[in-house]
């Protein structure tokens, strides 16, 4: 029995049926409900809304694999699952293009004041000179994290006539004619744009803190389509107020449950949404129609079910 805990493309359900697998499609299931069913499961398809912790894994006495739709495994205790001989796979190859396109869209909107001026026009304000923006061509783009999404973002940028500096602590010799493998210091010194493509780990929690922003030599735009906790929100706001950065576009937040924010989080959120050089989208970078299919296809291939 395979338990599917998130909304999936019909391709996944059709393929499971064709291959003779039994499944329960429960896209709204919550943690406690899953606990009550998990002892029957041999496979588990998840997104991010349910933590797959030791307690749940201990009760999953028949579980053979966990399939994560998308990238980022921080909500799964992968090490413990592997101790129990449970295979853990994700599918970042399926939505990396969607994330990259969204990051590019956010960047262009920031640099050319697209979102700002469009909102002004809705209020019958036709401001041209005040919305004179910057061209992407000729700029230096710093990519921090060169996994699937970082690489996909770089691929999109190659036609814009930019210099691409990419840094990844765990990858070497990935540079090419378009991408310069770089140190973090080189990005800090030269980047007009810094885009984050990092997983959330103990190392990357608040990776962009006040020391990070203070080390920037230019006043870059900051793009984050990875995980909200990669950026310390308070430090980001301080940097905006001090004009250390020209603007920011965030598809992710430290707390994305915006109806249940702490007092400090609400003050930070209210400040960000009031700024014309800030764009926030609701964690939709990887949510394209095509990605929904491709993530399922990748996952099934990795599980040898396709």
Distance CA 289, CA 36 (A): 32
Residue 5 has a CB neighbour count (10 Å cut-off) of 26
Strand (E) positions, 39-129? 43-46, 65-68, 87-90
Which H/E stretch holds residue 137? none
Q: In sequence order, what are the beta bridge partners of 224?
A: 196, 250
What SS3 class is residue 65?
strand
Q: What angle do CA 252, 142, 253 make, to 5 degrees?
A: 10
227 in catalytic set: yes
Q: In sequence order, what are the beta bridge partners of 66?
A: 44, 88
| Annotated catalytic residue, options 22, 283, 290, 301 | 283
DSSP state of 228: G
14 in catalytic set: no
Which H/E stretch holds residue 195? strand 193-196
| Annotated catalytic residue, options 22, 24, 256, 290 | 256
Strand (E) positions, 54-188? 65-68, 87-90, 140-144, 163-167, 179-181
The full DSSP string for 73-89 is: -TTB-HHHHHHTT-EEE
- List the catalytic residues: 227, 256, 283
């Amino acid at each position: 029995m395979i338990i599917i805990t998130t909304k999936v493309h019909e391709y996944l359900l059709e393929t499971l049926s064709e291959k003779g697998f039994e499944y329960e499609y429960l896209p709204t299931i919550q943690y406690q409900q899953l606990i009550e069913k998990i002892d029957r499961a041999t496979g588990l398809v998840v997104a991010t809304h349910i933590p797959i912790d030791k307690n749940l894994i201990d009760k999953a006495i028949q579980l053979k694999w966990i399939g994560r739709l998308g990238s980022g495994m921080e909500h799964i205790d992968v090490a413990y699952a592997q101790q129990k001989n449970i295979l853990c796979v994700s599918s970042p190859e399926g939505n990396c293009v969607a994330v990259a396109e969204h990051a590019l869209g956010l960047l262009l909107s920031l640099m050319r004041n697209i979102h700002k001026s469009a909102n002004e026009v809705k209020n019958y304000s036709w401001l041209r000179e005040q919305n004179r923006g910057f061209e992407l061509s000729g700029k230096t783009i710093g990519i921090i994290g060169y996994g699937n999404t970082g690489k996909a973002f770089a691929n999109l940028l190659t036609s814009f006539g930019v210099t691409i500096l990419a840094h990844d602590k765990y990858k070497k010799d990935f540079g090419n004619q378009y991408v310069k493998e770089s140190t973090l210091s080189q990005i800090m010194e030269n980047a007009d744009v810094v885009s984050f493509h990092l997983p959330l780990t103990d190392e990357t929690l608040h990776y962009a803190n006040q020391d990070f922003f203070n080390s920037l030599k230019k006043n870059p735009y900051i793009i984050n389509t990875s995980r909200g906790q990669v950026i310390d929100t308070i430090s980001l706001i301080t940097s905006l107020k001090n004009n250390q950065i020209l603007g920011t576009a965030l598809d992710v937040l430290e707390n994305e449950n915006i109806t249940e924010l702490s007092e400090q989080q609400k003050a930070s959120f209210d400040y960000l949404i009031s700024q014309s050089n800030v764009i926030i989208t609701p964690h939709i970078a990887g949510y394209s129609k095509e990605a929904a299919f491709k993530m399922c296809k990748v996952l099934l291939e990795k599980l040898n079910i396709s």
